[in-house]
């Protein structure tokens, strides 16, 4: 049967921001190196390759030193169920003012450290603003303590600590509530093969701020349906947050454009049609090749 491989974040991509594992001899010997070899074999032998973004495919080809022939590769964005069309309880609690939201595991690739460094001054300049942090906050940071513990123990953030709320892992229903209740999603990851959390917020007509790297560049039109900042740039992120938080009309305009882009590019129906067409194409090509082999063998 034909094999179609869907590209996500590979182990090599993960290791770029988890240096403690990349530099661990035992981890690489027992897990990392065998998995990377297996990934390379799949990339080389799959009949078809479904990439979530052009950046996703290009980065993997570079990382693994392989070629992805255009006839085997198809870029099809993720399609996401329309949570924004549901009656979603807004997760705002009893707090007033503008709400920033971070969604993701608290590990280096997701750049929670960049977000928390940026918001130190931003929250000081905008007294009514708070930040909700949603995602697993128990992971060791670089092999040490969880980043939440590092942040909360830092005396330099004492003045804003009670305006940064860590919620840990939450249910899907609760996550929808956080999206519905926020004003700005802040997720300047160091790498994303796609950037699902951006789409999830965009369907709620929210302003999103990602990083100019990986698949996020293909999800967000910078300055149109959201914003992109340079990776590892807390000062640049803070400047953009100041702009967005201080301009209601800008938030409204970008939020409407974000919803429009979701409807145009990231619905399940659009993805399903594209994937089925690709699968039919690969199956027909494989059947044709097998028929030619059979005919040649019969002739011999």
How far is residue 118's CA from residue 236's CA, in Å, rounded to a whole number? 8
Give 142-157 pLDDT, tens digit per residue: 778 999 999 999 999 9
Contact at 8 Å (CB) between 178 and 145?
no
Mean pLDDT of 224-228: 98
Distances 102 to 178, 179, 284 between C-alpha atoms, Å: 10, 10, 44
pLDDT over 90 (residue 118): yes
Banded pLDDT at 9 (limits 50, 70, 90):
confident
Count of residues in the chain:
300
The pLDDT assigned to 137 comes to 97
d(CA 262, CA 275): 18
Radius of gyration of the chain (CA): 22
Q: Which burial class, exposed, middle or buried, applies to 106 when counting CB atoms under 10 A from its CB (0-12, 13-18, 19+)?
A: buried
Share of the chain above pLDDT 70, in %: 93
pLDDT digits (tens, 9 = 90+) for 17-32: 888 899 999 999 999 9
């Amino acid at each position: 049967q034909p094999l179609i491989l869907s590209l996500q974040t590979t182990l090599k991509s993960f290791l770029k921001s988890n240096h403690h594992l990349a530099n661990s001899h035992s981890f690489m010997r027992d897990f990392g190196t065998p998995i990377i070899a297996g990934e390379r074999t799949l990339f080389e032998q799959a009949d078809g390759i479904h990439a979530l973004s052009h950046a996703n495919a290009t980065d993997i080809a570079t990382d693994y030193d392989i070629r992805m022939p255009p006839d085997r590769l198809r870029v099809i964005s993720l399609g996401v169920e329309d949570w924004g069309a549901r009656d979603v309880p807004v997760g705002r609690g009893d707090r007033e003012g503008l709400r920033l939201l971070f969604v993701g595991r608290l590990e280096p690739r997701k750049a929670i450290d960049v977000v928390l460094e940026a918001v130190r001054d931003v929250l000081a300049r905008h007294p009514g603003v708070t930040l909700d942090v949603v995602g697993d906050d128990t992971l060791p940071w670089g092999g040490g303590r969880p980043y939440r513990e590092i942040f909360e123990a830092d005396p330099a953030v004492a003045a804003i600590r009670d305006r940064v709320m860590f919620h840990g892992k939450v249910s899907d229903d609760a996550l929808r509530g956080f999206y519905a209740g926020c004003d700005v999603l802040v997720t300047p990851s160091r790498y994303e093969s796609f950037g699902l959390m951006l789409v999830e917020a965009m369907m709620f007509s929210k302003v999103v701020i990602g990083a100019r790297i990986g698949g996020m560049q293909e999800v967000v039109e910078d300055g149109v349906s959201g914003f992109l900042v340079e990776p590892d740039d807390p000062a640049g992120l803070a400047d953009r947050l100041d702009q967005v938080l201080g301009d209601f009309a800008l938030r409204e305009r970008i939020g409407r454009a974000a919803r429009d882009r979701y409807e145009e590019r990231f619905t399940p129906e659009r993805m399903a049609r594209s994937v089925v067409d690709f699968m039919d194409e690969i199956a027909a090509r494989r059947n044709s090749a097998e028929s030619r082999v059979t005919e040649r063998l019969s002739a011999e």
